[in-house]
Amino acid sequence: MVKIAFNSALAQKALGKEGEVLVAEKDPETASVYSNESSTGRCLLTLLGLAFILTGLIVGGACVYRYFTPKKLYHGAMHFTELDSEVVPVDMETREPYYLPRVDEDVEIQDNVAIINVSMPRFGEGDPAYILHDFKRKLTAYLDLNLGNCFVIPLNTSVVMPPQDLLDLFQQLMSGSYRTYLVHEDLVVTERIDNVSKLGFYIFHLCGGKDTYRMQRRSDVMAGIQKRSVEECFTIRHFENKFVTETKICKP
């Protein structure tokens, strides 16, 4: 039945009025021929074909869905001035702050996790890094991409905004960059973490197979414990709030 309708439609398009007459004459004939043949067989084949098409559509749809659903990835940039060198000429204040150092970030925010991709600064210092804030486990992990090492410290909620506020901040940043100030943070490596799987799924995903260290704020490390060794230090500049944080990490 389907086949006949299709045929006549095609014929009409191709042949016009003449064809219409032809088809009208031919149709009953072909119909009877088809019904005499194994119509059940044709029916099954058609069903099979439809099933294939449906499967294709479903699988294809799933793929498209996977690739094109918004992954809640935001981009943001902040320009900053050093907090202690607040002597910016007044006329420059009003101009676009393009002469200022700038931090660019991509962030993906899920319910309890924010994953930040800090790119290599175009000028100024700072390592490219991935920073993961696990709000449920209250941990922050820095994966320094120059070193390939991970550094873990308890989440500081006075520096890192909660997920919803962070989302709002990045939505604001979508419409332009922000001018802010720089805050310094001084961290020291205290020990190596042997089993990263204890730090939760997300940090394990980020840091698994990489040398991972635990850190503390330098001010929290008791002076007596600190050895006077040569330290290897590097910095990561990032923001999870309305200011830029320069995290200095030192490894004894």
Ligand X SMILES: *[C@@H]1O[C@H](CO)[C@@H](O)[C@H](O)[C@H]1NC(C)=O
Count the Cβ atoms, other than its own, within 10 Å of residue 28. 10
213 CB-side CA count, 13 A: 17
In angstroms, what is the minimal distance from the CB of 117 to ligand X?
4
Does 180 bind ligand X (CB under 6 A)? Our answer is no
CB contact at 8 A, 188 and 126: no
Residue 217 near ligand X by CB under 6 A: yes
For 29-84, the DSSP string reads HHHHHHHHS-HHHHHHHHHHHHHHHHHHHHHHHHHHHHHHS---EEEEEEEEEETT
Minimal CB distance residue for ligand X: 119
- SS3 category, 187: strand
185 contributes a contact to ligand X by CB under 6 A:
yes
**Least separation, in Å, of the C-beta of 245 and ligand X?**
7
Name the nearest CA neighbour of 103 among 235, 233, 247, 239.
239
Residue 43 or 233 with smaller CB distance to ligand X = 233
Nearer to ligand X, 198 or 242 (CB): 198
Q: Is 119 in the site for ligand X (CB under 6 A)?
A: yes
Q: How far is the CB of 102 from ligand X (least distance, A)?
A: 12
Does 106 sit near ligand X (CB under 6 A)? yes
Of 36, 40, 85, 158, which lies in the binding site for ligand X, with binding defined by CB under 6 A?
A: 158
Any contact of residue 7 with ligand X (CB under 6 A)?
Answer: no
Distance in angstroms (rounded) separating the CA atoms of residues 2 and 98: 66
What residues make contact with ligand X under the rule CB under 6 A? 106, 117, 119, 156, 158-159, 185, 195, 197-198, 217
